[in-house]
């Protein structure tokens, strides 16, 4: 599998989802909104760009993440009912501020 040999440095949201589907090891900077969305909110297994300098080449390439795990996280976050609930929360918070 491609993800077994090619780690990916990501620059936009669509790339995260594409390489996750391939099972690639994904690196993101921790000071970006994408880190917050994918690692903290959606609970993807994502690696820190800041850690690359301390990694051996073998550690950098090694991907022991189950590709199905991140795919399941993606499916949960794009679930219709989940999306509807998130929008309800937004509209409710707006209504509460009136």
For the segment 6-39, what is each residue's pLDDT rounded down to a tens digit?
455 555 565 666 666 666 788 888 998 888 888 8
Burial 48-83 (b: 16+ CB within 10 A, else e): ebeeeeeeeeeeeeebebebeebeebbeebeeeeee
Q: How far apart are CA 1 and CA 23, in angstroms?
A: 8
For 13, the 3-state DSSP assignment is helix
pLDDT tens track for 27-76: 888 998 888 888 888 888 888 989 999 999 889 888 887 878 877 887 77
Bridge partner residues of 28 (DSSP) = 48
Q: How far apart are CA 92 and CA 9, in angstroms?
A: 37
pLDDT at 14: 56
pTM: 0.61
């Amino acid at each position: 599998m491609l993800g077994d040999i090619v780690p990916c440095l990501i620059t936009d949201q669509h790339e995260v989802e594409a390489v996750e589907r391939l099972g690639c090891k994904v690196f993101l900077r921790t000071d970006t909104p994408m880190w917050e969305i994918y690692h903290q909110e959606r609970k993807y297994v994502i690696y820190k760009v800041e850690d690359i300098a301390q990694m051996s080449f073998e550690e950098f390439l090694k991907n022991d993440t189950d590709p199905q795990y991140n795919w399941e996280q993606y499916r949960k976050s794009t679930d219709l009912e989940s999306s509807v609930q998130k929008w309800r929360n937004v509209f409710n918070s707006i209504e509460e501020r009136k």
